[in-house]
Amino acid sequence: MTLTLRSSTSFINLKDTKSFKTADEVVGSICYAQIKPTFSLVAKSSVQASHVLEHHSLIKVGSLAEKWEKLHPLSGPHDGSNSSKVPVFVMLPLDTVTHGGNLNKPRAMNASLMALKSAGVEGVMVDAWWGLVEKDGPLRYNWEGYAELVQMVKHHGLKIQVVMSFHQCGGNVGDSCSIPLPPWVLEEISKNPDLVYTDRSGRRNPEYISLGCDSMAVLRGRTPIQVYTDFMRSFRNRFSDDLGEVIVEVQVGMGPCGELRYPAYPESNGTWRFPGIGEFQCYDKYMRASLKASAQEAGNQDWGQGGPHDSGQYNQFPDDTGFFRREGTWNTEYGRFFLEWYSSKLLQHGNSLLAAAEGIFKGTGAKLSGKVAGIHWHYKTRSHAAELTAGYYNTRHHDGYQPIAQMFSKHGVVFNFTCMEMRDGEQPENANCSPEGLVQQVKIATKAAGIELAGENALERYDAAAYRQVLATSTSASGSGTSASGSGLSAFTYLRLNKRLFEEENWRHMVEFVRNMSEGGKNRELAESDTQGSDLYIGFVNEKNIEKTKEILLV
């Protein structure tokens, strides 16, 4: 499959054969219509494609014919031309920077950025991995691969969102590579396994440092919060000239997958499977000590012996347990005490990290954001079991997202939320899912807190239905009070750049989506040709007029 972009400026100089990508630098493909090269173009790839595109109305290279159809760039949200515009960013591959600290496949990245720019995309998002940047030792940072990326993004007139990724890559949905925590941190964990989250059975999870030891100097004389703060300060110092101009957003990772949550549903080694309820992660010695102290303060020492004994196992359903069933322990005095303690620890962790980030990035012009997981399974039950084990105290009787939104508001942080592409009708009936209801609740919470709401898709989707759902979610209906639809989206980040995105139909859907988001969520299909001088369209070559197809693999 190929995509065809028609542009007044070719992405690739036809005289510069050095710009063509080698087989290991490529994943997708772009064709150029209405350009007839004066020589054969050969693309070396795994399939050794070597076709030449011909069309009945092709023109000679270098001439400017009236038949040349143009791809008009969209105006960015920073120009003030459309206040209802929702800018679209695209997540870059997880391995954008290599283990050696270099930019991975720079020529392919360069071509990908050109394609995204021509589609009207606002910018890209990249993970700045703690395990890569500070891997050589405490306070020894290597930002060079990211610096090269930032300059490339700047060169193409795009923007970038950078995630301070203090978690491990690997073991979760969509993780295509392995980037563990820094080696020197893993050494400390091997000496003291209680540094990481632990479940009731004693399973240790190396994805993220337990928030139970946030204020303890367990990482070679520094607390985890101090380590994260030093990392962010180093980033600010290295990229001070680009913050607010090219780097428009810094997302602060606050847990596994960069989300403010506990690792309650780890997929590694088959521990958890959708739609299991997950398990509480409060059994390392630091969390145990905190629970014990909280129980003593509440006047009931028995409550501090450990987490709920009747909360079940990772892959059970709510009704299989005493804690989460319809009239379960979750709604007793003890259950409310435990859930309040468990969720408040998560809020304290987020507050500490965001306060540090606010102090570091204030005045740089870059927005701060934090990510919250879209845990939509068992949402229709009274206990909302899967949300509770992840740390969101959200039940039939208690709103778990208002406290998070209020905490974000205190620090001026954008609330980034997932599962924006999902619809209730797509989910298995037995899972009691309601992604639409969950998103609606979050929209209302962020509106009440007076903060911006940004979105992501939770799973890789390329179909028009998923885009339509995001479009519907991106707008805010009129009204006031809790009955209103809540906040619209201030931005959307698409997951993720890969070869499938550049397949013909997938790319067409993406370009249509970007345009629709630029028009405030209006859902219109793009024209096949530019007869009205529109802002953006994409024209695919009619197959009956093509004798041979040339594939230049780019991504």
Catalytic positions, written as ranges: 259, 456
Sign of CA dihedral 205, 210, 212, 215: positive
CB 189: neighbour CB atoms within 10 A?
18
User: What are the DSSP E strand ranges found in 107-265?
Assistant: 123-129, 159-165, 196-198, 204-209, 247-252
Rounded CA separation 210/207 (Å): 9
Q: Which of 129, 233, 235 is nearest to 185 (CA)?
A: 129
Q: Is 167 flagged in the annotation as binding?
A: yes
Reduced to 3 states (helix: H, G, I; strand: E, B; else coil), residue 50 is coil
What are the distances in angstroms from CA 164 to CA 148, 233, 371, 413, 430? Answer: 17, 11, 11, 14, 36
Helix (H, G, I), strand (E, B) or coil at 344: helix
Q: What is the C-alpha to C-alpha distance for residues 21 and 29, in angstroms, rounded to an integer?
A: 11
Is 127 annotated to bind ligand?
A: yes
Is residue 175 a known part of a binding site? yes
Q: How far apart are CA 167 and CA 160, in angstroms?
A: 20
457 is in an annotated binding site: yes
Rounded distance, CA 165 to CA 178, Å?
A: 13
Is 371 annotated to bind a ligand? Reply is yes
Residues 466, 423: Cα–Cα separation, whole Å? 8
What is the signed CA dihedral for 380, 274, 341, 442, rounded to 10 degrees? -50
Task: Please report, in angstroms and rounded to a whole number, the separation of the first and last CA atoms in the chain.
Answer: 14
Tell which residue, 325, 449, 444, 445, has the closest CA to residue 388. Answer: 325
- Is there a binding annotation on residue 458? yes
Distance of alpha carbon 142 from alpha carbon 498, whole angstroms: 26
123 forms beta bridges with 89, 159
DSSP letters spanning 252-312 = E--SGGGBSS---S--GGG---TT--------SHHHHHHHHHHHHHHT-GGGGSSS-TTS-
Region for 80 from its dihedrals, namely left if φ exceeds 0, alpha if ψ lies in -120 to 50, beta otherwise: left
Q: State yes or no: 376 annotated in a binding site.
A: yes
Angle between helices 285-298 and 333-361 (to 10 degrees): 120
- Residue 386 CA, distance from chain mean position: 20
Alpha carbon distance 305, 308 (integer Å): 9
CB 334 within 8 A of CB 328: no
Give the span between the Cα atoms of 474 and 457, in whole angstroms: 12
Q: Which residues are annotated as a binding site?
A: 127, 167, 175, 371, 376, 418, 457-458, 496
Instruction: Return binding residues for substrate.
Output: 127, 167, 175, 371, 376, 418, 457-458, 496
